[in-house]
Amino acid sequence: MIRIEEIVQKVGRHHPQADLDMLRRAYFFSAREHKGQTRASGEPYLVHPLEVANILADMRLDEISVATGLLHDVVEDTLVELSVIKQYFGEEVAHLVDGLTKIAQISSLSREEQQAENVRKMLLAMIDDVRVVLVKLADRLHNMRTLGALKPEKRQRIAQETLDIFAPIAHRLGMGKLRGELEDLAFQNLYPEDYRYLSAQLEARRAEHEKFLERTTKRIEDALRDAEVPFVRIEGRVKRLYSIWKKLKKQRIELDQVYDLVAVRIITPDEVRHCYAALGVMHNTWRPVPGRIKDWIATPRDNLYRSLHTSVIGSEGQPFEVQIRTEDMHHVAEEGVAAHWKYKEGKIGKHGKREMVADDEDAAFQSLRSLVEWTQEVKDSRDFIESLKLDLYPKDVYAFTPMGKVIQLPRGATPIDFAYAIHSEVGDTCTGARINTRIVPLRSVLQNGDVVEILTSANSRPSRDWLNFIVTSRARTRVRHWVAEQQRAESVEIGRKLLDKEAVRFGLSARKLYKDEDFKKLSGEYGFGRIDDLLAAIGYGKLVPRNVLAKHVGAEKLAEIEARKESRLRSGVREGVQAVKKFIRLGDDAISVRGIDDVLIVRGRCCNPIRGDEIIGYITRGKGVVVHARRCKNVDSLMANRERIVEVEWASHAADTTAYAVKLLAVTENRTGMLAGITSAISDTKTGIRDARASISANDKGHIEVTVEVFDLKHLDKIIRSVRGVSGVLDVERMNGGAD
């Protein structure tokens, strides 16, 4: 078992200012808390945090990261609370340990393979400090190295997760070496047969490969010296098992057909021109394979990888790959983000600012890129730590279904957006939501890692209000579509009623009309494909029913019918109009629309008309006919759409006994007993009182508001007169709007 003092010394070497005593304290704390726990191998549990800390120390990370390595499983696996960590080791360590605990919870939640991409992003989105990922990767690396002690199923699961989630994260962070080791370990555990077969085959070729690499390396050294191109060293290697295996699978070839099994790497001093010079020498020595030259120096990869690649045909006719890069590019290629700790110490930064090409739009790597640029200049370690704060996916939020599926949404997304992301049916019938088992309003904003459960009901439909807070275009499109459908259906209905009545007025049968081929053609002439579209246009008030009929039967014929009717009316025959005067009741409303039955009628809330008030009707888009009092302040502006105004009249008294709530305001002298006096005066008129309240105004007058139940205007006049008669009452008025 590695000793803590070795780790302490490593950290001290790279970070002379570090608080090394904190590492010793973290060690003792971890030892005490994990006491008695063992790993699957039977070793004391403490081996694991120690090894993780050692990996982090080898990455040259700071003492905060290494201490986090020692403590990373304490909150997850023992009874220790985060607040204790904070108290003993400070805010930063506690923050990193917290991040690791969250990651542990997420990766245990999600199992779906195809979700890997989203899980990766979610992990990265949930952490705000790159050191959390680095500790997590070190943790995973040690677990992978010691996987052998576990049962096969568990081994498989962890290996698969490593391949799906953690190796790609290491790759995106540019950590080539760590990624390679994770992949090979995962490969070994997932496909043990293939692994054994492939390593045996490579072992059999080892001597041959070594001889080839020795010869080639020598030849390169000579060629570079002859050309006076400086280099630091030449490395020869056989490619990683997992990457060879992937190639065999993907291209369906045998090992002998893999021509870049071995590769050579030229490391030059830290100046880009040496790389290009070395490339020239290579192409001068051997014939390059066309199309295999890649310049990752001029255009670095997303993960900041920089190098020149070429393949050449060797002296014995065997092609091989050559990678050329400077020492610092090499370091970044191997260590990725972790390499920046080295830059921080100024070992590489002295060669001046590197030229980075900002050709990639990905915000995540803009952020990494700026990290690299930052660290060239930053001297103060406080600023350096600040620069590690990440917001890799500032535009996204990741939430789970109860089954552990990850849903990616834009920031600000609500449960409705989530519901539509699952399925449009789920969105259409959504009635409520639980976030982390608690019922929440539908306009709540989702956070990373939320588990969201959508409640649905088959009869429920989207609400127009949702448009005020949903953010995804998918949800928006669906809800808009639904609202439009709804409005259209109502408009068709209103249009049909209007046209029916107009037809009856002229003695035509509406039913026959709809079957009439000529009438269908008429729809076409108006530019509508279907009769329903024509009816909708009438319902929306774009077309006047009389004009439509006139166009169908001919204006002259219509006028003739009308004239005949007039004369019959005058002669006392009152059919027709009478037939129209059927009264309709809807809710507590009793208003007939001249010419229309069964239309949705709503009394305007703005003016609260009651029987006896002069009224007009206004055909709205999708909400039926709204009835306003003529005195209503909104009527003027409605008149601008004259074609939508319809005549309405009150139903006869006999047919209806609806009472309307009307609010009255009485201004009185400020003295006691006013409220009692007024309410008793109202009771004298045999009127119901729904609500009464009194207050004193700023100018020392009594204000008494009473909501009364009124049958009609005459009734209201009587009430007002009665209240006026009460001694002390200065004025009474009817207030606009209904009682609420």
**Which residues of the chain form contacts with Mn ion (CB under 5 A)?**
73, 139
Three-point CA angle 676, 679, 682, nearest 5° = 150
Rounded to whole angstroms, the Cα distance separating 588 from 90 reads: 67
Bridge partners (DSSP) of residue 735 are: none
The one-letter code for the residue type at 138 is A
- Whichever of 73 and 164 has its CB closer to Mn ion, that residue is 73
98 is catalytic: no
3-state secondary structure of 466: helix
Contact 65, 96 (CB under 8 A): yes
In the complex, what is the shortest distance from the CB of residue 349 to Mn ion, in angstroms, rounded to a whole number? 33
In the complex, what is the shortest distance from the CB of residue 56 to Mn ion, in angstroms, rounded to a whole number? 12
In the complex, what is the shortest distance from the CB of residue 44 to Mn ion, in angstroms, rounded to a whole number? 14
| Cα 677 off chain centre by | 61
| Cα 340 off chain centre by | 32
- Whichever of 55 and 619 has its CB closer to Mn ion, that residue is 55
Rounded to whole angstroms, the Cα distance separating 713 from 612 reads: 5
Point out the catalytic residue in the list 19, 77, 533, 709: 77
Please enumerate in sequence order all residues whose Cβ is within 8 A of that of 557, keeping only pairs 6 or more positions apart, or say none.
Answer: none
Rounded to whole angstroms, the Cα distance separating 242 from 252 reads: 15
Q: Between β-strands 645-646 and 319-326, what pairing exists: parallel, antiparallel or unpaired?
A: unpaired
Classify the C-alpha dihedral 582-587-591-594 as positive or negative.
negative
In the complex, what is the shortest distance from the CB of residue 72 to Mn ion, in angstroms, rounded to a whole number? 6
- Whichever of 69 and 539 has its CB closer to Mn ion, that residue is 69
Q: How far is CA 131 from CA 49, 68, 81, 85, in A?
A: 16, 9, 21, 17
The one-letter code for the residue type at 339 is A
**What does the chain come to in residues?**
740
Structure tokens at 577: 């109009």
- Whichever of 143 and 687 has its CB closer to Mn ion, that residue is 143
In the complex, what is the shortest distance from the CB of residue 155 to Mn ion, in angstroms, rounded to a whole number? 16
**Helices assigned H by DSSP within 589-673:** 635-638
In the complex, what is the shortest distance from the CB of residue 52 to Mn ion, in angstroms, rounded to a whole number? 6
Rounded to whole angstroms, the Cα distance separating 236 from 211 reads: 11
Bridge partners (DSSP) of residue 308 are: 295, 324
Which H or E element spans position 691?
strand 689-696
- Whichever of 49 and 462 has its CB closer to Mn ion, that residue is 49
Rounded to whole angstroms, the Cα distance separating 1 from 8 reads: 15
In the complex, what is the shortest distance from the CB of residue 260 to Mn ion, in angstroms, rounded to a whole number? 36
Please enumerate in sequence order all residues whose Cβ is within 8 A of that of 671, keeping only pairs 6 or more positions apart, or say none.
Answer: 702, 728
Contact 239, 263 (CB under 8 A): yes
Q: Which of 723, 522, 494 is nearest to 602 (CA)?
A: 494
**Helices assigned H by DSSP within 378-448:** 381-387, 415-422, 424-428
In the complex, what is the shortest distance from the CB of residue 48 to Mn ion, in angstroms, rounded to a whole number? 6
Question: Which residue, chain included where needed, has tokens 């989203």?
Answer: 118
Rounded to whole angstroms, the Cα distance separating 682 from 666 reads: 12
77 is catalytic: yes
- Whichever of 72 and 603 has its CB closer to Mn ion, that residue is 72
In the complex, what is the shortest distance from the CB of residue 58 to Mn ion, in angstroms, rounded to a whole number? 17
- Whichever of 77 and 712 has its CB closer to Mn ion, that residue is 77
Classify the C-alpha dihedral 729-735-739-740 as positive or negative.
negative
In the complex, what is the shortest distance from the CB of residue 318 to Mn ion, in angstroms, rounded to a whole number? 44
3-state secondary structure of 708: strand
Question: Which residue, chain included where needed, has tokens 């199992």?
Answer: 111
SS3 per-residue string spanning 206-248: HHHHHHHHHHHHHHHHHHHHHCCCCCCEEEEEECCHHHHHHHH
3-state secondary structure of 270: coil
Contact 237, 284 (CB under 8 A): no
- Whichever of 103 and 508 has its CB closer to Mn ion, that residue is 103
In the complex, what is the shortest distance from the CB of residue 622 to Mn ion, in angstroms, rounded to a whole number? 59
**Residue of minimal CB distance from Mn ion?**
139
Rounded to whole angstroms, the Cα distance separating 215 from 238 reads: 15
- Whichever of 127 and 262 has its CB closer to Mn ion, that residue is 127
3-state secondary structure of 603: strand
Contact 312, 286 (CB under 8 A): yes
- Whichever of 127 and 534 has its CB closer to Mn ion, that residue is 127
In the complex, what is the shortest distance from the CB of residue 184 to Mn ion, in angstroms, rounded to a whole number? 20
The gap between the terminal CA atoms of the chain, to the nearest Å, is 77
Q: Between β-strands 601-603 and 625-629, what pairing exists: parallel, antiparallel or unpaired?
A: parallel
Point out the catalytic residue in the list 19, 76, 92, 705: 76
Which residues are the active-site residues?
76-77
